[in-house]
């Protein structure tokens, strides 16, 4: 590239190029989360906090591993996504290879992280109560929320499900039976339809399988987290807060995995939507033809929506990961303070 070509690049072109890289969305998400943490810390200095007392081993042992698993899982999902993106885009030679794992990996990794949390709840987080606590209300898998998070994750799930099915139905197979093409007709000509690569069933079916697994383990984790008994009457307030945090982290990881897959699918579909004209050179003369695809405008719009989805996903993951290092203070039902450190729960008696 010559110097004149470099200086001819406009700021708008640089912005478009930056947003076309998924890892740039991770950078923006990190800036957002770090900025929010700085503001929160500045506000927190204006308020005095109660000193922490020795930890309550029962609560620390019951919820500490789950909180760490969620934080490490969020970091792991970010690392897996980044490594896969770099290897696929810059290292591996994938000529004529269908990289279906690009869209299934975030969903599968999220399901795996949540499955680990479910195992921790089932085998170490559910123990016989020291003093039985009579339930005052009927608990379900939504009892500890977060209601807004569950609603948002459901919307992302429906969007990914609908996009995958719609794109699969619109796709067509190649000569090897792989549904990887989209036929775009060229009207008023004898030219064969264009067949660019597309987010068809070859990509979508693995995503649907992983999505079903993600829904199952997320529901089971929220249900197990909600229905397990409380240890003692005096720990109900602290345990409710911890269970809300476990539920919030679970829903955030599930939503993030879904959004990353949806963002990748939108990028792929949007690339096809930019095909609007075909130029054919015959006998030294060029002839231009308009191509026709019913949803081309909608596909182009998904290109700009994809970075927003990825940024939202990375923000959710970074927030969950930040809880590994952020102490919390909650109030029990009897008004006593409970200090929850980065690795355990501590009850002030």
Residue matched to tokens 């990794």: 109
Confidence of residue 337 (pLDDT cuts 50, 70, 90): very low
3-class DSSP assignment, residue 69: helix
CA gap 287, 77 in Å, rounded: 48
Angle between helical axes of 22-44 and 11-19 (0-180°, round to 10): 90
The residue length of the chain stands at 349
Domain count, the chain: 1
Give the model confidence (pLDDT) of 86-122 as tens digits: 999 888 888 889 999 999 999 999 999 999 999 999 8
Stretch among 16-30, 128-142, 179-193, 328-342 having the lowest mean pLDDT: 328-342
DSSP 91: I
Q: Is the pLDDT of residue 334 over 50?
A: no
Percent of the chain at pLDDT > 70 equals: 78
Judge whether 303 and 270 are in contact, CB under 8 Å.
yes
**φ and ψ at 51, to 5 degrees?**
-65, 150
Q: First and final CA of the chain: distance in angstroms?
A: 69
Give the model confidence (pLDDT) of 287-305 as tens digits: 677 777 778 888 888 888 9
Judge whether 230 and 129 are in contact, CB under 8 Å.
yes
More confident of the two residues 58 and 96: 96
More confident of the two residues 124 and 83: 83
Could you tell me the two tokens for 217?
A: 């383990």
DSSP 295: T
How is 297-347 classified by DSSP, letter by letter? HHHHHHHHHHHHHHHHHHHHHHHHHHTTT--EEEE-TTS-EEEE-SSSEEE
Confidence of residue 56 (pLDDT cuts 50, 70, 90): low
Q: Is the pLDDT of residue 342 over 70?
A: no
Whole-number CA gyration radius for the chain = 25
CA gap 222, 246 in Å, rounded: 8
Could you tell me the two tokens for 309?
A: 């989805």
Give the model confidence (pLDDT) of 39-55 as tens digits: 888 876 665 445 444 44
Could you tell me the two tokens for 166?
A: 């719609």
Q: Global pTM?
A: 0.86
Q: Is the pLDDT of residue 277 over 90?
A: no
More confident of the two residues 236 and 151: 151
Average pLDDT, the chain: 82
Other CB atoms closer than 10 Å to residue 192's CB: what's the count? Answer: 9
User: What are the contacts of 37-44 at 24+ separation with CB within 8 A?
Assistant: 37/322
Rounded mean pLDDT, 58-67: 77
Its domain, for residue 51, covers: 3-347
pLDDT of residue 329: 44
More confident of the two residues 288 and 131: 288
Confidence of residue 257 (pLDDT cuts 50, 70, 90): very high
CA gap 321, 67 in Å, rounded: 9
Rounded mean pLDDT, 297-319: 92
pLDDT of residue 346: 34
CA gap 253, 251 in Å, rounded: 6
Q: Is the pLDDT of residue 286 over 80?
A: no
Task: State the burial class of residue 177 (Cβ atoms within 10 Å of its Cβ: 0-12, 13-18, 19+).
Answer: exposed
Judge whether 270 and 169 are in contact, CB under 8 Å.
no
Could you tell me the two tokens for 208?
A: 């649907």
Stretch among 37-46, 87-96, 176-185, 250-259 having the lowest mean pLDDT: 37-46
Longest dimension (CA), the chain: 90
3-class DSSP assignment, residue 281: strand
Q: Is the pLDDT of residue 256 over 90?
A: yes
More confident of the two residues 150 and 299: 150
**φ and ψ at 175, to 5 degrees?**
-70, -10
Range list of β-strands (E), the chain: 172-173, 179-181, 277-282, 285-290, 328-331, 337-340, 345-347
């Amino acid at each position: 590239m010559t110097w004149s070509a470099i200086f001819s690049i406009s700021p708008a072109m640089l912005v478009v190029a930056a947003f076309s890289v998924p890892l740039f969305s991770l950078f923006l998400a990190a800036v957002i989360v770090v900025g929010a943490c700085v503001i929160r810390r500045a506000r927190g200095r204006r308020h005095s906090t109660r000193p922490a007392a020795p930890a309550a081993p029962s609560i620390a042992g019951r919820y500490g591993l789950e909180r760490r698993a969620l934080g490490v899982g969020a970091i792991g999902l970010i690392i897996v996504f980044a490594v896969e993106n770099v290897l696929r885009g810059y290292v591996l030679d994938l000529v004529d290879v269908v990289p279906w794992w690009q869209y299934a990996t975030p969903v599968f990794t999220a399901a795996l992280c949540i499955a680990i949390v479910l195992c921790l709840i089932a085998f170490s987080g559910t123990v016989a109560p020291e003093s039985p606590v009579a339930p005052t209300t009927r608990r379900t898998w939504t009892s500890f929320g977060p209601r807004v998070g569950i609603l948002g994750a459901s919307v992302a799930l429906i969007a990914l499900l609908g996009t995958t099915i719609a794109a699969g139905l619109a796709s067509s197979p190649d000569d090897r039976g792989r549904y990887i093409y989209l036929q775009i007709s060229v009207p008023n000509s004898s030219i064969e339809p264009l067949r660019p690569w597309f987010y068809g069933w070859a990509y979508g079916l693995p995503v649907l399988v992983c999505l079903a697994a993600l829904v199952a383990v997320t529901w089971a984790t929220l249900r197990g987290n909600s229905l397990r008994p409380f240890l003692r009457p005096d720990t109900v307030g602290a345990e409710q807060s911890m269970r809300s945090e476990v539920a919030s982290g679970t829903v955030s990881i599930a939503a993030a995995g879904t959004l990353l897959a949806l963002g990748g699918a939108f990028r792929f579909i949007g690339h096809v939507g930019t095909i609007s004209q075909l130029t054919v050179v015959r006998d030294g003369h060029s002839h231009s033809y308009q191509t026709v695809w019913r949803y081309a405008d909608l596909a182009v719009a998904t290109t700009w929506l994809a970075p927003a989805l990825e940024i939202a996903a990375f923000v959710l993951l970074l927030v969950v990961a930040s809880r590994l290092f952020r102490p919390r203070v909650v109030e029990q039902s009897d008004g006593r303070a409970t200090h929850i450190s980065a690795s355990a729960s501590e009850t002030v008696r």
